[in-house]
A = this chain, B = another copy of it.
Amino acid sequence: MHTHEMIATHPDVRGNTNEALLAAIDAAYACAQACTSCADACLAEQAVAELRQCIRLNLDCADVCAATGVVASRRTGSNETVISGMLEACIVACGLCAAECERHAQRHAHCRICAEACRTCEAACQKALQTF
């Protein structure tokens, strides 16, 4: 990811970066990928029927994280209210997905790693939200 150098060279930012928000952007992209992979890995498990709710939360979390990463990447003009709203939605989506994945963490390594990605993103978004 080139998030830091890209945003640091934005004409309205000029090196004056919000580090907490940058960390949230990177965490959101990483979590979107992890949740996409976890939904796909759960779908391939023999016990797929018991993992439906996990797949649902994974897919929703992937979509919310992807949108959060993109919206939070923009610095032209201002749109703090929408960034805040997406950070809040992202915290909720990551928290619910992490809790479900943690229930399967011992049996499925992909759920364990995905839960960690969700908890990292949840915490990063909470820190970023406090800067607004």
Q: Among A5, A29, A37, A92, which residue has the most Cβ atoms of chain B within 10 A?
A: A37
Whether B63 pairs with A67 at a CB distance below 8 angstroms is yes
Interface residues in A55-96 (C-beta closer than 8 Å to B): 55-57, 59-64, 66-67, 69-71, 73-79, 81-82, 85-86, 88-89, 92-93, 96
Give 15 pairs: A residue, B residue, CB < 8 Å, sorted on A: A2-B33, A6-B33, A10-B37, A11-B45, A40-B76, A41-B76, A56-B77, A57-B77, A59-B74, A60-B71, A63-B70, A64-B82, A81-B92, A85-B93, A88-B89
Q: At the interface, yes or no: A34 with Cβ under 8 Å from chain B? A: yes
Given A1-B1, A34-B6, A113-B2; A74-B89 close (CB under 8 Å): no
